[in-house]
Amino acid sequence: MGCSRDEPVTTPRKPVRGYEFVGRGQLMGAVRRGNSALIIRGQVSTTRFKRLKQANPGLRFINYEQAFALNASEASYARDRGWLATTCEGEEIHPENIPNVTLLDATIHESLVWRTNLIAAETRQGYDLTYLDTLRSFFPVDFYDEVPCGVSDGEWLTASLETVDLVRSKSGKPVIANGSGLGSGQSYLEHKEEADQLVASADAVQIEHFLRNPNAEDEDIAFVEAINAAGKDAYAKCAGSIEACRSALTEAGNPQRNYLHPSR
């Protein structure tokens, strides 16, 4: 029996699309879990990509890269060329809580060309997008053990924008931006002028701490809306319950543009 004229007509909401971070040893199980996207840490061969895409043809495979953070081998190469960030006393700089990682001096153009060549070459192995971690709308002094000598926040932002452009042009694939100023709605509002430049440069943005602060849900939802209004996809790594995460991301609208990773 049909609806009367007085009965409201409701349109079912599209389900929120999921994504997750996986290592290369966990791939086949993750491919079968029903996500829409996987952000992969570790190298994957072209041959393996063919098998994975056959197992789930609609899945997005995303190459995880730390833009300015180098592993031991990369740091050794950069050190020999004078490309590592240092303090005014000449000490190298490392994240406080991540072992065996060293900071690149992103203000040296040659170092960016080299770094983006490595990233783009990996993406071309079969990935659909590149995820660039550690981009900077400002330098997060609390994240590192020291501060680079004489490098302004503006220079870090310029280097981040150039990195996004170089990786996209060299790989031919879209770029997801993650980093300082993009981690939450509050951080975005505090650094809006600079963060908006990163949002504009990228094809998508990950919000690292979505709903981490229960008193800032409105700001997080507004940030998703701002990302979507700029024509970009939002990847929300959510610290709340699965129900709260889905509700908040649904409230932001644009389900065709947004992805959810409940971290609990």
**Per-residue confidence at 180, pLDDT binned at 50, 70, 90?**
very high
For all residues of the chain together, what is the average pLDDT? 93
Q: How many C-alpha atoms does 222 have within 13 Å on its Cβ side?
A: 10
Of 13-17, 67-71, 122-126, give the lowest mean pLDDT range. 13-17
Q: What is the largest CA-CA distance in the chain?
A: 80
Compute the distance between CA of residue 155 and CA of residue 176 in angstroms, rounded to an integer.
20
Task: Give the model's pLDDT for residue 11.
Answer: 43
Give just the sign of the alpha carbon dihedral 202, 206, 209, 213: positive
**Per-residue confidence at 5, pLDDT binned at 50, 70, 90?**
very low
Of 173-177, 199-203, 242-246, give the lowest mean pLDDT range. 242-246
Q: With a cut of 60, say whether residue 7 has pLDDT above it.
A: no
Task: Give the model's pLDDT for residue 264.
Answer: 67
Give the H/E segment covering residue 220. Answer: helix 217-229
Range 58-76 average pLDDT: 96
Q: Is residue 103 a contact partner of residue 133, using CB atoms and an 8 Å limit?
A: no
Q: With a cut of 60, say whether residue 91 has pLDDT above it.
A: yes
Q: With a cut of 80, say whether residue 105 has pLDDT above it.
A: yes
Say which residue the tokens 């800032």 belong to: 216
Question: What domains appear along the chain, each with residue ranges and CATH number?
Answer: 17-262 (3.20.20.70)
Q: Is residue 217 a contact partner of residue 247, using CB atoms and an 8 Å limit?
A: no
Q: Is residue 176 a contact partner of residue 210, using CB atoms and an 8 Å limit?
A: no
Range 230-259 average pLDDT: 94
Task: Give the model's pLDDT for residue 114.
Answer: 98
Task: Give the model's pLDDT for residue 152.
Answer: 95
Q: With a cut of 90, say whether residue 238 has pLDDT above it.
A: yes
Q: With a cut of 80, say whether residue 15 has pLDDT above it.
A: no
199 phi, psi to nearest 5 deg = -60, -45
Q: Give the CA-trace dihedral at 182, 185, 187, 192, to 10 degrees.
A: 80
The closest of 132, 133, 122, 131 to 49, measured between CA atoms, is 122
Task: Give the model's pLDDT for residue 9.
Answer: 45
**Per-residue confidence at 10, pLDDT binned at 50, 70, 90?**
very low
**Per-residue confidence at 16, pLDDT binned at 50, 70, 90?**
confident
Q: Name every residue whose Cβ is closer than 8 Å to that of residue 248 and which is 6 or more positions away in sequence.
A: 210, 211, 217, 220, 221, 236, 238, 240
Task: Give the model's pLDDT for residue 24.
Answer: 86
Q: What is the pTM of this model?
A: 0.92
